[in-house]
Structure 1
Amino acid sequence: MQTPMHLTGRHVLVTGASAGIGRATAVLLSRLGARVTLTGRDETRLADTLAELAGDGHRMAAFDLADIDAIPAWIKELATSHGPFGGLAHCAGLQVSKPVRGVDLAFFDQILHVNLASALALARGLRQKGCHGDAGALVYVASVAAWVGQPGNAVYAASKGGLISAVRSLAMELLRDGLRVNAVAPGLVETEMTERFRATTTAEQFQAIVDRHPLGLGKPEDVANAVAFLLSDASRWITGVTLPVDGGHLVR
């Protein structure tokens, strides 16, 4: 009996695949049988991820998702040359802490552009005719920061809160296209982004955040497992939800 978690024959686009959650997701999807297209800005690091994938037929396609208006045409090109997508995992994102007294328009635009505008443009691209199969799934990586208040994190939290709200609307809008739309909301995960965040806090502040995770800090693979579930047919009756993957942070 084949597990419903299998992704054999499915073409999946993974953004932010050069490191962290994106890399772990790409590796897991390849092990589940998916044919993975990796994207990110750093070709050298994408090549490192590509070397870790299981199976054949994978490729890398470096692209800067900051070019919002070019995203739909880029997805169309990928689907035309390498086949329609059965799934998309949007793992790329930007986390920068800044007290509200230091927030200006440039900072606000940067965070919302990377974390929210690119996500909407990817949905716009995937829903195009010929870019997806009869059924597919789109999974976004949000954050528990959307639900948990933290000083200096208002803009980032707003961007992820907006993403979670967008997931519910997109789930209804893309039903007619045969696309399910969901998100995962990680707590603090041991990635390079977390190390950069650690550098902006004191040891006491960072430890206080760690202590809010009863199961300890997460690994990229913990989030990748949830993303794979939401991409697979094991979640075929789920759309419009955001799944916390947070080590118990929200229930503490």
Structure 2
Amino acid sequence: MDPFSLQNKVILITGASSGIGRSCSVECSRRGADLILIGRNHDELMKTASLLDPKSKVEVVTEDITQTDNLETMIARNVLILGKISGFIHCAGIEKTLPLKKHSSALYRDIFEINVIAGFEIAKILSLKKYKDETASFVFIASVAGMVGEPGKAAYSASKGAVISGARSLAMELCRSNIRVNSISPAMINTPILEKMFEDIGEDASLEITREHPLGIGNPEDVAYACVFLLSDASKWITGTNIVVDGGYSAH
């Protein structure tokens, strides 16, 4: 038996319509998982679904996960179709880089709603016996911004720090239910969000950011491979940790 296989596992992935979420969906599918893909953009979710291994069963859910009252109904419906959940990846998130004077209470709320609260609410529901497999693994996509200071990212960094510390507490609480909980902290990853940011800040600033990563800017699959490991039985003795996938950024 391959300990890295995801055969016979049902994985729920938020933010599956692009970037890291899309790559996680593809890599989980390649290793035999069936998938529940959640995102706000139906067309992009269908594009993700078209990239999956044809043997994977997939349910596509177009949903705003900040509307937390709808979450349990949506999860119950999909568990009925595909079976109990073995894994969960919270990839959905938003990033804002703004000077502190432009931060507002609304900005903090918007970022925390999607980056932190929605993920923890889903974890709460998936931890119930009626929805989870005998054993399960939850993975939260955090960020190196939750570990090191970066100008203009007070709200974003705070949200990702909350993800890292919250995941540790969930790990301690949910281990009695045979659920492992970990986070992954990437640095800059080559996604549409990064491309837009590089366009906005110009070539010189973009080159400077690239140089801060000794191994260069990462690709979504670099994070997806770490997710596959944490979802698989190969990591069955790992919980409450934060895996840094940053091309050496935080080693400076």
Task: Give the TM-score category using the shorter length.
Answer: over 0.9
| Cα deviation, residue 196, structure 1 | 2.7
| Equivalent in the alignment of 1:23 | 22
Q: Aligned equivalents of 2:92 and 2:181: distance in 1?
A: 16
- 1:235 correspondence with 2:239: no
Is the deviation greater in 21-30 or in 73-82? 73-82
| Equivalent in the alignment of 2:165 | 165
SS in 1 for 2:26: helix
Q: Is the 8 A contact 2:57 2:82 kept in 1?
A: no
Q: Is the 8 A contact 1:17 1:49 kept in 2?
A: yes
Give the paired residue count: 251
| Equivalent in the alignment of 2:34 | 35
Q: Aligned equivalents of 1:104 and 1:58: distance in 2?
A: 39
| Equivalent in the alignment of 2:222 | 222
| Cα deviation, residue 116, structure 1 | 0.7
TM-score (norm 1): 0.96
Q: Aligned equivalents of 1:70 and 1:173: distance in 2?
A: 25
- 1:196 correspondence with 2:196: yes
Q: Aligned equivalents of 1:72 and 1:198: distance in 2?
A: 38
SS in 2 for 1:175: helix
| Equivalent in the alignment of 1:133 | 133
Is the deviation greater in 63-72 or in 49-58? 63-72
| Equivalent in the alignment of 1:177 | 177
Measured on the aligned residues, the alpha-carbon RMSD in Å equals 1.2
| Cα deviation, residue 211, structure 1 | 1.0
Cα distance change on mapping 1:217 and 1:209 into 2, 3 Å: same
Q: Is the 8 A contact 1:138 1:181 kept in 2?
A: yes
Q: Is the 8 A contact 2:34 2:82 kept in 1?
A: no
Q: Is the 8 A contact 1:10 1:85 kept in 2?
A: yes
| Cα deviation, residue 58, structure 1 | 1.6
Once the two structures are superposed, residues 41-84 of structure 1 have per-residue CA deviations (whole angstroms, 9 ceiling, x without a partner) of 11111111111100232221111111123223322232133211
SS in 1 for 2:189: coil
| Cα deviation, residue 121, structure 1 | 0.6
SS in 1 for 2:13: strand
Q: Aligned equivalents of 1:137 and 1:162: distance in 2?
A: 19
Structure 1: any 5+ residue segments left out of the alignment? none
Q: Aligned equivalents of 2:44 and 2:186: distance in 1?
A: 23
SS in 2 for 1:61: strand
| Equivalent in the alignment of 1:120 | 120
Q: Aligned equivalents of 1:69 and 1:56: distance in 2?
A: 29
Q: Aligned equivalents of 2:93 and 2:64: distance in 1?
A: 12
SS in 1 for 2:39: coil
The residue type paired with residue 103 of structure 2 is V
Is the deviation greater in 197-206 or in 63-72? 197-206
| Cα deviation, residue 37, structure 1 | 1.3
SS in 2 for 1:28: helix
| Cα deviation, residue 199, structure 1 | 3.7
Structure 2: any 5+ residue segments left out of the alignment? none
| Cα deviation, residue 244, structure 1 | 0.3
Q: Is the 8 A contact 1:26 1:36 kept in 2?
A: yes
| Equivalent in the alignment of 1:51 | 50
Q: Aligned equivalents of 2:56 and 2:224: distance in 1?
A: 20
The residue type paired with residue 218 of structure 2 is G
| Equivalent in the alignment of 1:11 | 10
SS in 1 for 2:117: helix
Q: Is the 8 A contact 1:97 1:197 kept in 2?
A: no
Identity of aligned residues (%): 38
TM-score (norm 2): 0.96
Q: Aligned equivalents of 1:167 and 1:137: distance in 2?
A: 11
Q: Aligned equivalents of 1:201 and 1:112: distance in 2?
A: 25
The residue type paired with residue 172 of structure 2 is M
